[in-house]
Chains A and B, each alone.
Chain A
Amino acid sequence: MIYREAGDFKTTYQADNQTFPLRLDRMGYYAILAVAFLVIPFVISDYWATSVMVPFLIYAIAALGLNILVGYAGQVSLGTGGFMAVGAYATYKLTTMFPDVSILIHVIVSGLVTALVGMLFGLPSLRIKGFYLAVATLAAQFFLIWLFNKVPWFYNYSASGQITMPERTVLGQIVTGPATPAWAKYLVCLTFAVALAWLARNLTRGTIGRKWMAIRDMDIAAEIIGVNPLTAKLTAFGVSSFLIGIAGALFFSIYLGAAEASEAFGINKSFLVLFMVIIGGLGSIFGSFAGAAFMVLLPVFLKNVLSGSLGWPTDLAAHIELMIVGALIVFFLIVEPHGLARLWRLTKEKLRLWPFPH
């Protein structure tokens, strides 16, 4: 009763083609957006912004990017950390070279740079498949990190190889650097996340998305019906890397403020984002957000409960936290291998009948 797909009639093609064709969906999303843009910025505290909301939004963008590659185009990648590093270092180089250009433009250009790098490392995908490809993308991961560590030009010849984000403003408001207020960080990330999610949603339901899915389901069959695997796979790598690059750029410039390639963008990052995609649900935009929320909140939550509320020794809490995270991941995969997105779909089904299930 509450959630209905029937009875929502359209009279124009435009109405039928809009991002959310269902009125109820649309209203729901507008409501969420309204809260996100108009309420949260006024109530958000430093802790919630830096420890929860900002990482959540940034990881959601990264997960969205990886989901396009893994969930829609079926190409498993473990190079996410490396691509995020490309975005981060591109932003750093650009903003120190052209300090007068808006940081937002730098972030987008960094995404484009990452897209190029991603396409380059996506080339082997034309020959290599499955886990072989997954392991092959690790080459990108390790090589890129090594490169950023080794070539002093990337970190402006600083003594320690760390990059530090200088202060930048948008419309007169400081958005990077330590003096940034919590709401500004949050709003920048939110704007990017919403815009990119909109982009991803529309790409994936259009021609290009259908090509990706055809490749995912069976690439030889797709080729036979006229999908060019070269363009399909490379666009998937490109778009995915674009999003991941932007995530990396925001991660460095807004969230961390200073970074070191091997520390901030190591292989763990690749695994973490892949977890988000899998837990959230392969091939689902909503899933990317849900997965990111889950993986960001879970450790914070566990840590606070175990060592905070229960008062356990921190080392024991930390070790047991690892066990719980591991066990929960396995548990999730067992009960719902299609991720949180599937749970959401089931909820909608339930709501359709509720309160009169037959």
Chain B
Amino acid sequence: MKLRFAALATAAVMAAGPAMADLVVPNLSYRTGPYAANGNQYADGFNDYFTLLNERDGGIGGQKIQVPECETAYNTEKGVECYESTKGNGALVYNPLSTGITYQLIPKVTADGIPMYTPGYGRTSAKDGAVFPWVFNAPANYWDGASVSVKYLLDQNNGSLEGKKIALIYHNSAFGKEPIRTLQELGKKHGFTLTELPVEPPGQEQKSQWLQIRRDKPDYVLMWGWGVMNQAAIQEAANIRFPMENFIGVWWSGGEVDVLPAGAGANGYKSLTFNGVGQDYPYYEQLKQYVIDPGKASQGGPSIGSAVYSRGMYAALVIAEAIRKAQELAGTSEITPAQLRDGFEALNITEERMAELGLPNFGQPIVLSCANHGGEGQGRVQQWNAETKTWSLVSEFATPDAEVLEPLIQADAQAFAAENSITPATCN
């Protein structure tokens, strides 16, 4: 029984392998489990972008792109299984959309020499390309996010947060704890007090936290949430009539699904973002012509243009640009993961290039180098309008406070290097 089982499994694994000549960009997605709603949209955006390239341009540099999807259910073990099962097929880059899986894969991709791209999540100090040569987290990371939100609040308060009270409500996990240190440092610098309110995942029940917010009346509430925690928090904030314009979530707390359940109560809620939302870009005309109308949209395209979908698309875009760059540098269209890494390090996406791609004013320019794998880390703020059910951008891109972040990133990267006896590469 066991033998036959094993034989069948092998056969299945063999059958699953794609043709070797194509560019393989696995999509480690999650469409089940507690975070399925977000994972679905992200994966769709990711898939659709590559479908468009394949349909319209015949891939990149004449090479079709294969996007084998593998379900992780936001579970690290399944993530590792997905990694192992896809890496043999010539996978070029991984984008697991899970901080937990990212931590798991950092040592593995480093040993195997495959780049990993974690836009807006994952390990912040991976920005230090000398210590993490294979990991890229442009355009922004969590510490950038924390700094940008404080910057935004500074702008709102004529440059001073002296004596203000800021509460941070966070997902009690690796992801949620990321901004704490940065915010503490920023609190020292700008003189605001920080209250930390952990919410144990999944986080449907947050009454204690919000009663405390109601009592303490902080001036602002920041949120690092994911999944049901977002919906519950926004609902509770509406319930206690917390002024929604003073409630700012990180980008992962800024999807349509997060605000819709709270209905009109969510009006005015803000969140960070590093990409544009909505379908008002020329890109979508092309998408309609080549992908949607022929019925090739991932899942039938229920979430096209949503915030999380746009982010998935953006991730695919950056990867595609890196592949293009790598092909240019290597002088061949059949690139290897190592060549793709060079492509990432030479990446330069300008605003003109974005406009060419049909996404003007969608994201920030991204310039990476050997030392800097994280880009500028800019972010902006979007606000929810419950009546029209749309996000609108309410601030320009702001640059994070490098003076505070740099030493933190250095310290964390050094600690990682020391713990794992890595000699940082020299970047010139």
Q: Which residues of A contact B (CB under 8 A)?
A: 46-47, 50-52, 55, 96, 146, 149, 158-162, 164, 166-167, 177-179, 256-260, 262-264, 293, 297, 299-301, 303-305, 307-309, 313-315, 317-319, 322
Nearest 5 Cβ contacts at the A-B interface: A308-B16, A315-B31, A304-B12, A178-B111, A178-B107
- Tell me which of A50, A158, A297 contacts B9 (CB under 8 A): A297
Assess whether A314 is in contact with B70, with CB atoms less than 8 Å apart. Answer: yes
With A46-B84, A309-B15, A314-B29 already in contact, the answer to whether A164 and B174 are too (CB < 8 A) is no
* 13 extra interface residue pairs, beta carbon distance < 8 Å, beyond A166-B419, A260-B100: A47-B85, A52-B9, A160-B99, A178-B111, A179-B111, A257-B108, A264-B100, A303-B71, A309-B15, A315-B32, A315-B299, A318-B31, A318-B32
Task: Kindly list chain A residues whose C-beta atoms are within 8 Å of the C-beta of B81.
Answer: 50-51, 300
Q: Does B406 contact A (CB under 8 A)?
A: no
CB distance from A214 to the nearest CB of B (A): 34
With A51-B85, A300-B9 already in contact, the answer to whether A262 and B201 are too (CB < 8 A) is yes
- Tell me which of B13, B75, B106, B172 contacts A304 (CB under 8 A): B13
- Tell me which of A50, A166, A309, A318 contacts B12 (CB under 8 A): A309
Q: Does B346 contact A (CB under 8 A)?
A: no
- Tell me which of B6, B112, B173, B419 contacts A297 (CB under 8 A): B6
In chain B between 383 and 411, which residues have their CB closer than 8 angstroms to a CB of chain A? none
CB distance from B280 to the nearest CB of A (A): 28
In chain B between 203 and 256, which residues have their CB closer than 8 angstroms to a CB of chain A? none
Task: Kindly list chain B residues whose C-beta atoms are within 8 Å of the C-beta of A293.
Answer: 2
CB distance from B209 to the nearest CB of A (A): 16
- Complex: chain B residue closest to A45, CB-CB: B88
- The count of residues in chain B whose C-beta lies closer than 8 Å to any C-beta of chain A is 57
Task: Kindly list chain B residues whose C-beta atoms are within 8 Å of the C-beta of A317.
Answer: 71
- Complex: chain A residue closest to B83, CB-CB: A50
Most buried by A among B2, B78, B107: B107
Q: How far is B8's CA from A92's CA once the two chains are assembled, in angstroms?
A: 38
Task: Kindly list chain B residues whose C-beta atoms are within 8 Å of the C-beta of A167.
Answer: 420-421
Task: Kindly list chain A residues whose C-beta atoms are within 8 Å of the C-beta of B69.
Answer: 307, 314
Assess whether B32 is in contact with A159, with CB atoms less than 8 Å apart. Answer: no
Q: How far is B84's CA from A167's CA once the two chains are assembled, in angstroms?
A: 20
Assess whether A314 is in contact with B13, with CB atoms less than 8 Å apart. Answer: no
- Complex: chain A residue closest to B69, CB-CB: A314
Task: Kindly list chain A residues whose C-beta atoms are within 8 Å of the C-beta of B200.
Answer: 146
- Complex: chain B residue closest to A269, CB-CB: B77
Assess whether B76 is in contact with A264, with CB atoms less than 8 Å apart. Answer: yes
- Complex: chain B residue closest to A263, CB-CB: B100
Q: Does B123 contact A (CB under 8 A)?
A: yes
In chain B between 61 and 109, which residues have their CB closer than 8 angstroms to a CB of chain A? 69-71, 73, 75-78, 80-81, 84-85, 87-88, 99-100, 103-104, 106-108
Assess whether B76 is in contact with A307, with CB atoms less than 8 Å apart. Answer: no
Q: How far is B12's CA from A194's CA once the two chains are assembled, in angstroms?
A: 30
Q: How far is B13's CA from A243's CA once the two chains are assembled, in angstroms?
A: 32
Assess whether B107 is in contact with A258, with CB atoms less than 8 Å apart. Answer: yes
Task: Kindly list chain B residues whose C-beta atoms are within 8 Å of the C-beta of A160.
Answer: 99, 103, 123, 174-175, 177-178
Q: How far is B6's CA from A297's CA once the two chains are assembled, in angstroms?
A: 8
Assess whether A297 is in contact with B5, with CB atoms less than 8 Å apart. Answer: yes
Task: Kindly list chain B residues whose C-beta atoms are within 8 Å of the C-beta of A52.
Answer: 9
Q: Does B279 contact A (CB under 8 A)?
A: no
Q: Does B189 contact A (CB under 8 A)?
A: no
